[in-house]
Amino acid sequence: MRVSATRRKRSAAASSTTRTIVRPSSRGAGRTAGRAFSRSAGRTGVVLFTTAAVLSSAGCFGSSDDPSRHGPAREGKTPGAKRAVVWNPRPTSIASLGDSITRGFDACSVLSDCPEVSWSTGTDVKSLAQRLLPSATAGAGTHAWNFAKTGAVVADLPGQIEAATVRKPKLITVMIGANDACRDSVDDMTSTEQFRTTFTSALTRLRRDLPKTQVYVASVPDLKRLWSEGRKNVFGRQIWKLGICPSMLKDSQDLDAASNDRRQRVADRVTEYNKALKDVCGRDVLCRFDPAVHEYRFTTDELSKWDWFHPSKAGQAQLAEMAYRRITASAP
């Protein structure tokens, strides 16, 4: 069979190509191919490395801290992680701040303080200090201190905080606000804005001076409820005329529209104070606000037999119980 010239050329080209592919088995050709492969592999490696870096930065590969690569991360080992702030339900020292309620006013005798039965640091009642601290040391002046003052208003808190700072207590209790509402008239009550600003400043100062101290903030008692209960006693109503909480208690038997409106304005202001206390305290992880005090319905037996307005010894014990539950709770 005759083969055309064109076919002969194609056959020769194919043979030449076949020979070129087979010949690299020789030593010289091997070195040439090796160098070509090395250059190609190097370029491929750079591309793969770059691609891997981009994917890693985009989160496509697990990081060195990824639990999927190394198992669960060890607690406290994450770089830069802050140690969690933990509430201690068993503080070892207490300082109390506040007003006449925390001083045990009228609980033992007429128109006088009786700190021994204070709900916070008293020694003659099952106080918060007695519940949390060893009874042998609770009243020894080494683990519990009462810096509250009868008649104190929220503006007096900074001074009480300054006094408490020296002792460096693990827990500070605060019950303030009743006297800001108990003024000569409703117009004299501390404004809600001023109350909030002053309490915020006081708590900020406390946190600056005592960064690790826990704070328990009791709500302001329901003054209208105390009026409603105490007005049943004739002797108590006479004591009220001496000037105890005039904005709420004066003309205690009057039930006309003006008197009712006056008392309601006081009650509303107390509600506003409690909201301010809750809001400000809520921004501090080491502060617990307790609404239970305002919600508690004190009975006649739990009110002072001298003025039927301040807590009696039994009432102080109830305040201590409420505080103890809040402070020792696993969660606020």
Give the model confidence (pLDDT) of 173-213 as tens digits: 999 999 999 999 999 999 999 999 999 999 999 999 999 99
At 183 the three-state DSSP class reads coil
Q: Which residue has the higher pLDDT, 12 or 225?
A: 225
SS3 state of residue 215: strand
Percent share of the chain, pLDDT over 90: 69
pTM for the structure as a whole? 0.75
Q: Residues 79-99: pLDDT tens digits?
A: 555 567 799 999 999 999 999
Kindly state whether residue 319 falls inside one of the protein's structural domains: yes
**pLDDT of residue 23 exceeding 50:** no
Beta bridge partners of 145: 95
| Res 62: pLDDT | 30
Structure tokens that stand for 65 in this block: 């801290």
Residue 16 lies in a domain: no
- Which pLDDT score is estimated for 84? 73
Domain that holds residue 135: 94-328
In the chain, what is the straight-line distance between the N-terminal and C-terminal CA atoms, in Å?
Answer: 104
4/67 Cα distance (integer angstroms) = 72
- What pLDDT, on the 0 to 100 scale, is given for residue 80? 53
CATH number at residue 102: 3.40.50.1110
Tell me if 217 is assigned to some domain: yes
Q: What is the C-alpha separation between 46 and 269, in angstroms, rounded?
A: 73
**Structure token pair of residue 215:** 């704070």
Distance CA 329, CA 315 (A): 21
Does residue 278 have a pLDDT over 60?
yes
Single-letter amino acid, residue 197: T
Looking at residue 15, its pLDDT comes to 42
Whose structure tokens read 């007429």? 110
**Residue 71, in any domain of the structure:** no
The confidence score (pLDDT) of residue 192 equals: 98
Instruction: Name the domain count of the chain.
Output: 1
Question: What is the distance between the alpha carbons of residues 154 and 184, in angstroms, rounded to a whole number?
Answer: 17
Alpha-carbon distance of 98 to 286, in angstroms, equals: 19
- 3-state secondary structure (DSSP) of residue 217: strand
What whole-number distance in Å separates Cα of residue 240 and Cα of residue 237?
Answer: 5
The string of pLDDT tens digits covering residues 120-174 is 999 999 999 999 997 545 455 679 999 999 999 999 999 999 999 999 999 999 9
Residue 7: pLDDT band (50, 70, 90) is very low
- Whether 14 maps to a domain, the answer reads no
Instruction: Print the SS3 string covering 72-107.
Output: CCCCCCCCCCCCCCCCCCCCCCEEEEECCCCCCCCC
CA pseudo-torsion sign 285, 118, 237, 292: positive
Query: Would 41 be classed as within a structural domain?
Result: no
1 within a domain of the structure (yes/no)? no
Tell me how far apart the alpha carbons of residues 35 and 42 are, in angstroms, rounded to a whole number. Answer: 11
Residue 166 lies in a domain: yes
